[in-house]
Amino acid sequence: MAPLTPRLVVPIDVKKQPWEQELPLHNRWHPDIPPVADVTEGELFRVEMVDWSGGKVKDDNSADDIKFMAGGIAHYLSGPLRIIDSEGVPASPGDLLAVEICNLGPLPGDEWGYTAIFERENGGGFLTEHFPRARKAIWYFEGIYAYSPQIPGVRFPGLTHPGLVGTAPSVELLNIWNEREKRLSETSEETIKLCEIQEGSAEWHRIANEAARTIPGRENGGNCDIKNLGRGSKVYLPVFVEGANLSMGDMHFSQGDGEISLCGAIEMSGFLELKCEIIRGGMKEYLTPVGPTPLHVSPIFEIGPVEPRFSEWLVFEGISVDEHGRQHFLDASVAYKRAVLNAIEYLSRFGYSKEQVYVLLSCCPCEGRISGIVDSPNAMTTIAIPTAIFDQDIKPKRLNGRPLSGPRLRRLPDLLSCSCDGRLPTTPN
């Protein structure tokens, strides 16, 4: 007679602000952020999470919240959790922490999400030169499916996953991060939330000044934004501090490879049901460092068995020649930009604005692949889009004399824009 339900270790009330939650949230990485709970390996436990913004984005009719979003808040995380074995001994530096994602989903009663384009001046995104204005789409969930009133004719099953799962860095690793990311440094103090430590105290200031932002994925996992870290998957994380101090957040109902519009997944609040195992000495044995120190490691994971299944894909190629015709040498980032731009141009022929497609490719289960990385001078990338997400046939076919594009294809609703935009055309490029 096992416990019949996962133990809730971090509860969330979405009607409250992030700093009003029962257990403190945090939005920076630091070894001294105190754990909020203990978890024993082998037990099934549940963690609830606010969306990355802590509820700042609303289910309303405007992208104003996006336009004026303070990016520095990202991301509000649940945890850290201290992981111990069945005899109470915590995970230790050098261990490997296997975290199985047994289940996940939106929080009951809060089954919606959003995808947005940040204003160029406020964070931008992969194609900010092309789509510089803040836009927003709201997604509603029907069980495994999502649809958006702002992107008609599209509905798909989510490959739901946490954008962010990670362990706390050690002091040494934190120093490495701060050193190598210097040119991006800024005072993070203004936004850090560490509610267990009195805000404004000396200790708070110290941590706030040292702590790392959560934006990038790093050696500890963190904000990997890997869409395949979904239901049934298992991630192996290095342990850098005693107890591992596992944190998580940034739940995504769905995301395309690249998460190109930055706020590009279907962002939501949600829950994770997890099970941990400590592999003693496993970091040393399995995660050989690639870099100047023993800390330059990377997590590995196993894909779960219930990812949505598609059999027909339309694939767009992109080479490392940019949209101005300039050659870049084996640059996969430029090549992926081309692939995405090609896909946007193509799909906009079927009645969508280009911004709609930009947002759609950010969040639908499309696959971005590095197909060739050695055929000098062109890197070759591809973006594969499952055709079944559309309610029309998007494959090329004979035209029989008629041009494809016509009013019958024009889908009128478009993304939400900002109140100050006036009657801005929604597809300016």
According to CB under 8 A, which residues from 61 to 100 bind its own copies?
96, 98, 100
Shortest distance in whole angstroms from residue 109 CB to its own copies = 5
Binding-site member from 11, 34, 200, 377 for its own copies (CB under 8 A): 377
- Alpha-carbon distance 75 to 221, whole Å? 14
Asked if 296 touches its own copies (CB under 8 A), the answer is: yes
Candidates 279, 411, 413, 427; binder of its own copies (CB under 8 A) is 279
- How buried is 383 (Cβ within 10 angstroms: 0-12 exposed, 13-18 middle, 19+ buried)? buried
- The residue among 104 and 244 lying less far from its own copies, judged by its C-beta, is 104
Residue 70 · residue 118 · CB < 8 Å: no
Of residues 383-422, those binding its own copies (CB under 8 A): 384, 388, 395-399, 403-405
**Residues from 324 through 353 that contact its own copies (CB under 8 A):** 324-327, 330-333, 336, 338-339, 341-342, 345-346, 348-349
Could you tell me whether strands 96-105 and 270-279 are parallel, antiparallel, or unpaired per DSSP bridges? antiparallel
Q: Please say which residue, 4 or 412, places its beta carbon nearer to its own copies.
A: 4
Torsion, Cα of 187, 195, 242, 295 (10° steps): -20
Q: What's the token pair of residue 282?
A: 């496993």
d(CA 268, CA 262): 14
| Region binding its own copies by CB under 8 A among candidate stretches 76-84, 189-197, 199-207, 285-293 | 285-293
Distance CA 345, CA 256 (A): 17
Least CB distance from residue 55 to its own copies, whole Å?
13
Q: Is 317 in the site for its own copies (CB under 8 A)?
A: yes
Residue 294 per-residue DSSP state: T
Which residues contact residue 165 at a Cβ distance below 8 angstroms, ignoring those fewer than 6 apart? Answer: 99, 221, 222, 224, 229, 235, 237, 246, 247, 248
Using CB under 8 A, which residues numbered 113 to 172 contact its own copies?
A: 125-126, 138, 140, 142-145, 149, 157
Confirm or reject binding of residue 304 to its own copies (CB under 8 A). yes
Q: Which residue has the tokens 């049901």?
A: 273
- Of residues 241-270, which lie at the interface with its own copies (CB under 8 A)? 257-262, 264
CA distances 207 to 29, 71, 210, Å, are: 9, 19, 5
User: Contact region for its own copies (CB under 8 A) — 62-70, 241-249, 373-381, 412-420?
Assistant: 373-381
Tokens of 230: 């979904």
Round to whole Å and give the CA distance between 115 and 125: 12
Q: Is residue 23 part of the contact set for its own copies (CB under 8 A)?
A: no
With respect to its own copies, which residue has the nearer C-beta, 367 or 421? Answer: 367
Q: How many residues bind its own copies (CB under 8 A)?
A: 141
Least Cβ distance, residue 427 to its own copies (angstroms): 13
> Looking at 63-134, which runs of residues are DSSP E strands?
77-84, 96-105, 112-117
- CB closer to its own copies, 117 vs 197: 117
Cα 370 to Cα 355: distance, rounded to the nearest angstrom: 24
**C-beta of 144 vs 195, nearer to its own copies:** 144
Among the listed residues 34, 291, 406, 428, the single contact to its own copies using CB under 8 A: 291
Q: Measured between alpha carbons, how far is 51 from 81 in angstroms, rounded to an integer? A: 19
Report in angstroms how near the CB of residue 332 gets to its own copies at its nearest. 4
**287 forms part of the interface with its own copies (CB under 8 A):** yes
Q: How far is CA 264 from the centre of its chain?
A: 8
